[in-house]
Amino acid sequence: MEKRTLIAVLLSVIILFVWQFFLSPKTPPSTEPQTTAQTQKQGDQSATEPAKTGQGAKQGQETERAALPLTEKRSTKQINVETPKLRIKLGDLGGGLTSVRLKEYKEAVGGSQEKELLENIAPYRYIPAVSQTSGNGTVSDATLFKADKENIVVRDKPETLTFSGELTNGKKIKKVYTFYPDTYTIGLNVQVEGLEQSTAYADFALFNMKDKSSYVFKGPFIYDGKKFQQVDDLGKQVNANKSYSYAGFDEGYFSFIFLPQGTTKPDLLVTKVVTQLDNSSVDVPVDRLIFDKNGIDSTLYFVPNKLSLLKELNIHAEKIVDFGWFDIVAKPMLWGMNWANRFTRNYGIDIILLTILIKIIFYPLSVKSYKSMKEMQKLQPMIAKLKEKYKDDKEKLNREMMGIYKTKGINPLGGCLPMVIQIPVFFALYKVLMGAIEFRHAPFMLWINDLAAPEDLFTFHVAGFALPLRILPLIMGITMVIQQKMTPTGGDPMQAKMMMFMPIFFTFLFWGFPSGLVLYWLVNNVISIGQQYYINKRVA
């Protein structure tokens, strides 16, 4: 196979294979929208059916959990809490969170609406809802609570909000929230009358995350102190065989983490339940909650998936940011661009600097590759004669060709190395752009306002179809044509036709890629053109 054909086939196959099986967006599970009545009925059932206990519960402590009737009461009051980082809403029905927004992030580029990280889709389910227990009391998430404050603005010191309610058996329950001025953290203490010094089982949290149809959506997870386990199957149930440190929900760019506190870690039983196409709910029944005179404590984190922030939590939450197979390449790249961004304040410039650095590192290899291609070009007349001579004996032809390459000291694959080496870098950068929150809504210049998304100069609307005009892929295709004109060719007509097609193929391939990735490839091509010009002068 000629060198150019090998380059085209190798790169095309690898890109298409990896895209198909590793990088293509996950399609949300096919779930038909439910009617309001159906959703209400299922919600009531999930709230009232006994939860399954984890395998970590001690024998003899497993008791049948009574079904709890939901009251007909509905929320009549909403409490608003604002911190420097979060905008929170809580309801008196259930005494839980109904909405959490991150003030520093927006839903859309250039928009004014703050990022909604949590939004309840059913009026009777709240976060966190201590909905069922065994032992000396029962708790219903339909309990109507009374708040000790109307609205809260957190400034220089933590503020608390206490919900007081009465259980279905007449016992008293308190939920005390603590809001902090400088973190994405909410503290929660739950006290239930009659549960002091006893073990309880509770559906302790139900949370809904938005952006389920997002390319970067990952879903619920549990962490056992050593590794993360993703709960990515609809209806899959993960029974704890050991005490998990915490459970959470990874939206891709943002995460919710539920961390039970105390010396005795509970077992978490995570069940993913999808009720609408763009929302996902997760039940986290907690086994072996140890109530004492101070109740039980937990911490709720609503945090951007930024490595530095996650590390500051000191719960190994930085493991949430996982770039898969390319993690070993992607994280150093991300660290380097974050370091450079302290000076540039522009991640587009950081991508350009990264590209220049990579080209400098591999420049010696590129020179060797270009020289190998030039030598291959000189051998083409001899190779053509061999092909004519042994046109009916492919095996003999290959032996003779390899003999010539060995005699001349030429590696026939040498010309492929610069392209092949870029593949891990290319996909690592893709994973960074699609998974690192630093690039979400990060502008470059002019109309390029989001390096993690394709750039649209403007959009044509034709026969009901939206056809975006994207400049970067077009310029990138042009640079590929120029680069081909400057690169030694083998004189093979089939190879020449294939190489003529490659710029078109790559232009369409990159059309839907993030603009930051297209920028990387474009700058790489421009630098390669300059290198090729310089090397051609030297070799000549």
CA distances from 324 to 29, 221, 330, 472, 523 (A): 22, 16, 9, 27, 26
Q: Tell me which DSSP letter residue 129 carries.
A: -
SS3 220: strand
368-396 confidence digits (pLDDT tens): 777 777 777 777 777 777 777 777 777 87
Class of domain 78-322: mainly beta
State in Å, rounded, how far the first CA of the chain is from the last one.
27
Residue 398 pLDDT: 78
Could you report the per-residue pLDDT of 95-120, keeping only the tens digit for each?
A: 888 888 999 988 888 888 888 887 65
Beta bridge partners of 151: none
Report the percent of the chain where pLDDT is more than 70: 62
pLDDT for 14 equals: 52
pLDDT bracket for residue 226 (50, 70, 90): confident
Tokens linked to 238: 């993960």
Rounded CA gap, 204 and 362, in Å?
54
- What pLDDT is stored for residue 38 in this prediction? 36
Query: What's the chain's average pLDDT?
Result: 71
Cα–Cα dist 76/146, whole Å: 10
Domain map of the chain by residue range?
A: 78-322, 326-360+418-539
- State the helix-helix crossing angle for 493-510 and 515-539, rounded to 10 degrees: 150
| DSSP output for 28-41 | PP--PPPPHHHHHH
In three-state form (DSSP H/G/I as H, E/B as E, the rest C), the secondary structure along 150-182 is CCEECCCCCEEEEEEEECCCCCEEEEEEEECCC
Average pLDDT over residues 313-320: 85
Scan for tokens 């091509």, then name that residue: 525
**How large is the average pLDDT for residues 525-537?**
83
Beta bridge partners of 190: 175, 296
Cα separation, 216 vs 193, whole angstroms? 43
Q: Give the pLDDT band (50/70/90) at residue 540.
A: low
Output the six-digit token pair for 17: 């294979």
Query: How does pLDDT run across 392-414, given as a tens digit for each residue?
Result: 777 877 777 777 777 767 766 66
Could you tell me which residues are beta bridge partners of residue 163?
A: 147, 175
**255-294 residues labelled b (16+ CB within 10 A) or e (exposed):** bbbbbbeeeebbbbbbbbebbbeebbbbbbbbbbbbbeee
**pLDDT tens digits along 233-278:** 544 555 544 555 777 778 788 888 888 775 455 555 554 444 343 4
How confident is the model at residue 243, as a pLDDT?
Answer: 55
The CB-based long-range contact list for 8-13 (8 Å cut-off, 24+ gap) reads 8/498, 8/499, 8/502, 10/416, 10/419, 10/420, 11/419, 11/420, 11/423, 12/505
pLDDT-based confidence at residue 290 (cuts at 50, 70, 90): low
Q: Is residue 457 within 8 Å of 469, Cβ to Cβ?
A: yes
Q: Identify whether 128 is preceded by a cis peptide bond (ω within 30 of 0).
A: yes
Sequence-distant (≥ 6) Cβ neighbours of residue 87 within 8 angstroms: 80, 81, 99, 100, 101, 102, 103, 114
